[in-house]
Structure 1
Amino acid sequence: MPRLSEPCPPHGLSVVRGDATSPHAPGPKIIAHVCNDRGGWGKGFVLALSRRWPEPERDYRAWYRARAGNDFGLGAVRLVRVRPDTWVANMVAQHGTRRGRGGGPPIRYEAVAACLRALAAHADELGATVHMPRIGCGLAGGRWERIQPLVEAELLARGVRVTVYDTD
């Protein structure tokens, strides 16, 4: 069971120490994470997902390969069911995989907001809670100070309970 590391308001953001791939909550759960728009899957949080379930990676790669005929791109979200009560949300919010010549990080905050907006609709439809690492803050180079307000505006303000998992 994760240990609480920050107090959480009644309908706010919970931050716990633990593994985001193993959420401890009753009912339907969505594990959300950020993917890139180049079809790359092989570093960061996705490795933990792939160790637990093959389906999110398989679906992401197929979605990317067929991108000419689907909605794959920045701001898009696909839910992949991995257990009867658990889905993984592959959220495309990172442009490329490295800092460009301009030096900016690959995270795209507008895409994060769009993904979270779509995620809120999925969570509402499923009656699910959302679980995530500090999305966009690892390899994508984002800053939690910019992402947390997006989580608050797009998920919490719509009544979706969110738990963020920090690793030990």
Structure 2
Amino acid sequence: MGEITYARGDATVPSVKGVKVIAHVCNDIGGWGKGFVLALSRRWPEPETAYRAWHRERASNDFGLGALQLVQVEPYVWVANMIGQRGVRTGSKGVPVRYEAIDAALARLAGPARELHASVHMPRIGCGLAGGKWSRVAPLVSERLVRRGVAVTVYDHGEG
């Protein structure tokens, strides 16, 4: 266990045994409707329902940049909603991705992943619609998860 594993395929259907956490990045404005979340919603309604409730009740919870919400969708599958982008549009403040928020959310994920003895599966988080660069995200994943003994597989869509 020393580095990120890369695989072709769909991060919503990890083909490994044991407990799995599917991690992805959400925005901080309650929007759910583009990108990887659509693949999640096609498989399970719970992550979107939980995220929308988390956002709706944000005055009384920890919803915000860097926060983590774990949602169980099957007996051995969890989805990690991680708030890692500010808004959804590129504007005067640059792209929506917030590396420090992804870093904080990954740090929050490490403990539960270890307690569950789970492997973590993800697309190249923060690098699609959020506009981030994998060269900046990969070291965060390595530092926060891999170095703490959590197996991580990153999926690139496409033919095997």
TM-score range normalised by the length of the shorter chain:
over 0.9
CA positional deviation for 1:101: 2.2
Q: Comparing both chains, which one has the higher relative contact order based on Cα–Cα distances under 8 Å and sequence gaps of 6 or more?
A: 2
CA RMSD of aligned residues (A): 0.7
CA deviations 1:4-49 (Å, max 9, x no partner) are xxxxxx4321000010000111110000000000000000000000
Q: Could you state the TM-score of these two structures normalised by the residue count of structure 1?
A: 0.92
Quote the Cα distance in structure 1 between the aligned partners of 2:102 and 2:83.
8
* TM-score, length basis structure 2: 0.97
Q: What is the match of residue 117 of structure 2?
A: 127
How many Å apart are 1:125 and its aligned residue? 1.1
- TM-aligned CA deviation for residue 115 of structure 1: 0.5
One of 23, 35, 52 as aligned partner of 2:14: 23
Q: Any unmatched runs of 5+ in structure 2? A: none
Query: SS in structure 1 opposite 2:52?
Result: helix
Consecutive unaligned residues in structure 1, runs of 5 or more: 1-9
Q: Give the counterpart letter for 2:101 in structure 1.
A: A
User: Is 1:112 matched with 2:102?
Assistant: yes
Residue identity over aligned pairs, in percent, reads: 65
Q: Secondary structure at the residue paired with 1:93?
A: strand
**Mapping for residues 60-99 of structure 1, pairs under 5 Å:** 60-99=51-90
Please list every run of at least 4 consecutive aligned residues from structure 1 whose deviation after the TM superposition is greater than 2 angstroms: none
Q: Which residue matches 2:153?
A: 163
